[in-house]
Structure 1
Amino acid sequence: MNAPLADLGVSNPVLAAPMAGGPGTPALVVAAARADSLGFVAAGYKDIAALTGQIDEVRASGGTFGVNLFAPGSHPVDPAAFEEYIRAIMPEAQAHGLDLGSLGIIEDDDHWHEKIDLLLSQPVPAVSFTFALPDAQVIRSLRAAGTLVLQTVTSPAEAAAAAEAGVDMLIVQASAAGGHSGTFTPKHTPAAVPLPQLLAEVRQSVGLPLIGAGGLATPDQVAEAVRAGAGAVMVGTALLRADEAGTSLPHRTALTAPDSRGTTVTRAFTGRPARALRNRFTDTYSDVAPHGYPALHHLTSPMRKAATAAQDPERIHLWAGTGYRHTRDEPTARILQELASVL
């Protein structure tokens, strides 16, 4: 176990990844802490009131926890491409009684400054960032407040930049990971480098403690990542069917569907590369979706919510990593402990 995590009282090296948009819940974060692991409140898509409420709920449990933020980048959508994409996906929205024609481009920063102010005024044990590298002053301020700062990276170059900015630890995310890639350059989908190889490459670039992530679904895969240089690992897909997860019913069902066609990396739902179970929407629109997060996220959000309510899995972002077939309905603590069982 890396010293920074041990200093927080973490002894289980299999950590619970943040999962924004529903699957990640305060109950899951608390369960991870009670398993001597570390979970993260997912700040993505939440306003300050909602985030504060979840942090307060987790803090009241008395366990160690972290908060994950989407660091804003500058990746605006092309207006003409956006309008063309609206026309392309309009039939999918209309299937649930929605009209996308009145929706404009929304480019926001997910309440970035307010969230940083909150974490500086009410410090938490750990903060992780994904999507971009925050300004070095933000990192220094959080560390000065006593917070452990972790950064998601997908390449040796990103790892070197994060080390230069002063973070404490790196979350090295391989392309097998479910959900959004943490790449700093979302116009380019990261290469399919196996996690052990990626960890070895990052170790040659920086000397920071590493957490491996992406495609870890069995105890042997966890052990392989540790042998490759990770002091800990992080799993998300493995917890999608956990008792404490807030994963929707159609998403849970799709994870075990016998006719599943595997996963794919797509921009179709959010304008940013993310690994999901293949469905009608990914197969039809992945090749025509423009780059542009968060504009496409806001565009498709009403359709995805309506499809979830109608239990229509063909128009939902079914985020999942390559190890999704190993998911199971069990308590979070049992899953984390089992994954660490051969270390």
Structure 2
Amino acid sequence: MPISHHTAFARTEAFCQAYDLRVPILLAPMAGACPASLSIAVANAGGLGACGALLLKPAAIAKWVSEVRAATNGGFQINLWIPDPPPTRDETVEAAVRGFLGRWGPAVEAAAGDVAPMDFAAQCEALLQAGPAVISSIMGVYPAEFVSRMKSRGIRWFAAVTTVQEALEAEAAGADAVVAQGMEAGGHRGAFEAARAEASMVGLFSLLPAVVDAVQIPVIATGGIADGRGVAAALILGASAVQIGTGLLRTPEAKLQPVWADAISRSRPEATLVSRAFSGRAGRSVATAYARAAAAPGAPPPAPYPVQRALTQPMRDAASRAGDIDRMQAWCGQSGALAQARPAADLVRDLWQDARAMLR
């Protein structure tokens, strides 16, 4: 066995031992797509479950945690976005967006963009009360005071990063591991600076080894990993574990709408795009009719996050009720076609078994 394979196994074994895992596979914390059932299945297979808590109030976070703990002794991470500065509002831009959206769904009221942000401090308190194995972040780093409180309770911190510089910032801020998010990943890009999310898109095969070489803490790879080949390749490139999102969305435990799951199964890498058209933050989705139209010349520029998210809510709700994929927020990574419609526990176990066989 080549020395690189020995090293890969040593890294994953050390990581699994540190986090009480049997397999180095983590569920990605996807806001709105992480039902307790999916984390229960992943954790019972030996991986790490996840909750994307961005849109959850403290009571909902506690409910999710209670449901997971009632069905598994396995660990999980809970993730929050680091808040952006308050958005700069522009009535002219918002009026143009409302007019555009009115052609795709219900009329959007003028006050629709007046959305109050989630109470980040209250969410953070809820995370500490929940006491998960890991608290993770995206879009930046937690304040030093919160990191200190987290560590005093024995909770580890995983920070999602999209560049080497972000990885270094996260390490300096006290992160226990960084999640290197390649541009292939579905959903929102985790760039610390929203304005640079598209300008600093780096593929996982370039980002991962560069981050591994730059930091002294474990690196978790995510973005475009959906089969044993991807797992093995990430470990060879220096990852201590992998995190999978889109690759688990077709499992029955994900409870995804059938039309969305079907779109994932048919998505070639070039059939996805990165757009701000749904939320105001850059994210990768299926290249639906709305997403393409919103990116076409002449379409109004999106409002900033979270104003754009609020403006598109009526359209997205109507699309969800109608099962209309062309107007849905159908997040999808570039390896979506590799996602399998199988029980999540079986899939996690087989992904690791396949990767081990390749590494041997």
Q: What TM bracket, shorter-length normalisation?
A: over 0.9
Q: What's the counterpart of residue 355 of structure 2?
A: 342
- Output one character per residue of 1:267-316: Cα deviation in whole Å (capped at 9) or x when no partner: 10001110011111111113533351111112112211110110111111
- CA shift at 1:88, angstroms? 2.0
1:90 matches 2:102? yes
**Is the aligned partner of 1:203 residue 2:212?**
yes
Q: Which residue of structure 2 lines up, in the alignment, with residue 76 of structure 1?
A: 87
**Which of 143, 149, 161 is the matching residue for 1:141?**
149
1:272 pairs with 2:281: yes
Alignment correspondent of 1:215: 224
Residues 213-262 of structure 1: per-residue CA shift (max 9 Å, x gap): 00112211211111111000001000111110021122112223489971
Output the amino acid matched with 1:101.
E
The residue that corresponds to 2:8 in the other structure is: none
After superposition, give the CA deviation of every residue in 1:184-222 in whole Å (9 maximum; x if it has no partner).
112221544221220111123221100000011221121
The answer to whether structure 1 residue 60 and structure 2 residue 73 are counterparts is no
The corresponding residue for 1:33 is 43
Which of 299, 305, 322 is the equivalent residue of 2:334?
Answer: 322
Q: Residue 2 of structure 1 contacts residue 232 of structure 1 at CA under 8 Å; is this kept in 2?
A: no
In percent, how many aligned pairs have the same letter? 29
- What is the 5 A alignment of 1:164-179? 164-179=172-187
Report the AA paired with residue 19 of structure 1: M
Distance in 2 between the 1:212 and 1:190 partners?
20
Q: How much has 1:74 moved relative to structure 2?
A: 1.5
**Preserved contact between residue 279 and residue 306 of structure 2 (Cα < 8 Å):** yes
**Structure 2-normalised TM-score?**
0.89
Among 43, 53, 56, which residue is 1:46 paired with?
Answer: 56
- Residue 194 of structure 1 is matched in structure 2 by 203
Structure 2 counterpart SS, 1:103: helix
Q: Does 1:8 align with 2:34?
A: no
Equivalent position of 1:118 in the other structure? 126
- Partner Cα distance (2:218, 2:251) in 1: 28
Structure 1, unpaired ranges of 5+: none
> Is contact 2:94-2:303 (8 Å) kept?
no
Higher mean alpha-carbon deviation, 105-114 vs 54-63, is at 105-114
- When the two chains are superposed, the root-mean-square deviation of aligned CA atoms in Å is 1.9
Look up the equivalent residue of 2:350 and give its one-letter code: E
Q: TM-score, normalised by structure 1?
A: 0.93
CA contact (8 A) 1:255 1:324 kept: yes
The structure whose residues are more often helix, as a share, is 2
| Corresponding residue number in structure 2 for 1:251 | 260
Contact 2:23 2:46 in 1 (8 A): yes
2:41 corresponds to which letter in structure 1? A
Which amino acid letter does the alignment assign opposite residue 239 of structure 1? L
1:306 aligns with 2:318: yes
8 Å contact 2:208–2:238 — kept in the other structure?
A: yes
d(CA) in 1 for partners of 2:128 and 2:266? 44
Pair 29,190 (structure 1): closer, same or farther in 2 beyond 3 Å: farther
CA contact (8 A) 1:77 1:295 kept: no
Distance 1:40 1:26 in 2: 8
> CA separation in 1, counterparts of 2:333 and 2:82?
22
Q: Residues 20 and 43 of structure 1 are in contact (CA less than 8 Å); yes or no, is this contact kept in structure 2?
A: yes
